[in-house]
Amino acid sequence: MGIVAKGLVRRSFALQPAVVSDIYDAALDQGLRGLAEIVMAVGQGCSAAVSIERAGTLEEVATHNLPDKALQDYAAYYRRINPCIPIAMAGHPDSISRFTDLITEPDLERTEFYTDFMQVHDTVRAMGAPGIPIGPALLLQVGVHRARGSADFSEDDVIRLQGLVPHLKRAMQLRCRLASGLRLDAGLAALQALAFGCVICDGAGHVLFANQAAETLEASGIITLAARQGLQARNLGQSRQLAASISATAAGGTGDALILTTRDGIRVFALTTPLPVRLGGQSGHVLVTLRSESAATTLDATALQQLFPLTTAEARLALALAAGHSLAKYAAEHRVSDNTLRTQIASILHKTGTENQRELVRMFGLLPPVERLAGDRDR
């Protein structure tokens, strides 16, 4: 029952980490009904609907605070005469907008859809998105409603719900990929938190799962996660090597190691291995991990101080050493003397139990590269 925005430029809205976690829990464990409840709460509506459309046909629908008859009526007839859907689909179908962003209120009130559906089911105020892509020929639709007598949704309401869209999209994509043959497992969910690319594919390279870090590599032009062509590298020769490695690993091989290169000559290290059973592995599934040599460290001062009794200044210096910064540049930027640097380095080595700077950097490289939520960094 969703509609969509006109491409307005809107400020972003930061969701609480707990809400993002709830979205994944609902998508993977509770289904669309749990998502509808979250959508309603974030949009501050009285009711909500979430549906999946495949090639123009509603495949799955769930509502919150709406009777089953409303769902049945909408799926059977009223979706086809919803005047806002074609307008939204012609514009920006994965953006949130109010009905009144798409059609004037007097024109809406003269439609059969408004008279026989919105008034009957008391959903006279509405906002949503009808075309969030989550897979081949698959669209996620979301809508939030308010009853008669309520104020229309505000711009802040739209912004807040729009902040939910990327997380809804990613959670539903993960749900679809799991449904295509992967078993849900805590280990698989943990791949999402890793700061290096993780891709699960079949022997032909068809992508079943890709974490956020892998999608970032795709956005940088390093790899392609195309559904039909499968996992590919930027360079044709390297792409063939990667395909051969995936195929051999899926056929029973132990895995392989390759180097992919970016347009700028930066190396990306790729490893293929049979997908472990604890990650939902089955015969023919392959785990491909990718990490760029230019990848930034995921360490921060808070994490270092949780691991070791470093002062704030010592943690800052330790991060600089781990990043390969020169001491001269660091001293100039932070206005510290050579004597102070030597004292801080000696203290850092003592507190971390390392013998020298090389051993310190090596130890930092052993720490798991995990993407930490912004909320975790702030604590």
The model's pLDDT over 277-335, given as tens digits with 9 standing for 90+, comes to 555 556 688 999 998 887 766 677 887 888 889 999 999 998 888 877 888 888 898 89
242-257 burial: b if 16+ Cβ within 10 Å, else e: bbebbbbbbeeeeebe
pTM across the whole model: 0.49
What's the pLDDT tens digit per position in 11-30?
445 556 677 778 888 887 66
What's the pLDDT tens digit per position in 212-257?
888 888 877 888 876 556 788 888 899 999 999 999 998 888 889 9
User: Could you give the 3-state DSSP secondary structure of residue 199?
Assistant: strand
The mean pLDDT of 58-74, rounded to a whole number, is 84
CA distance readout (Å), 145 to 122, 164, 177: 8, 16, 30
What's the pLDDT tens digit per position in 109-149?
999 999 999 999 999 999 999 999 988 788 999 999 999 89
Architecture of domain 17-177: 2-Layer Sandwich (3.30)
- Do 182-292 and 301-378 show the same overall fold? no
What is d(CA 22, CA 168) in angstroms, rounded to the nearest whole number? 10
What is d(CA 319, CA 364) in angstroms, rounded to the nearest whole number? 9
What's the pLDDT tens digit per position in 327-371?
888 889 889 898 999 999 999 999 988 888 888 888 877 676 655
CATH code for 301-378?
Answer: 1.10.10
183 pLDDT more than 60: no
CATH of 182-292, one of 3.30.1360.80, 3.30.450.20, 3.40.50.300, 1.20.1600.10: 3.30.450.20
What pLDDT, on a 0 to 100 scale, did the predictor assign at position 180? Answer: 59
| Torsion angles phi and psi, residue 148, rounded to 5 | -60, 145
Domain map of the chain by residue range?
A: 17-177, 182-292, 301-378
- Residue written as token pair 């869209």: 165
User: Could you give the 3-state DSSP secondary structure of residue 197?
Assistant: strand
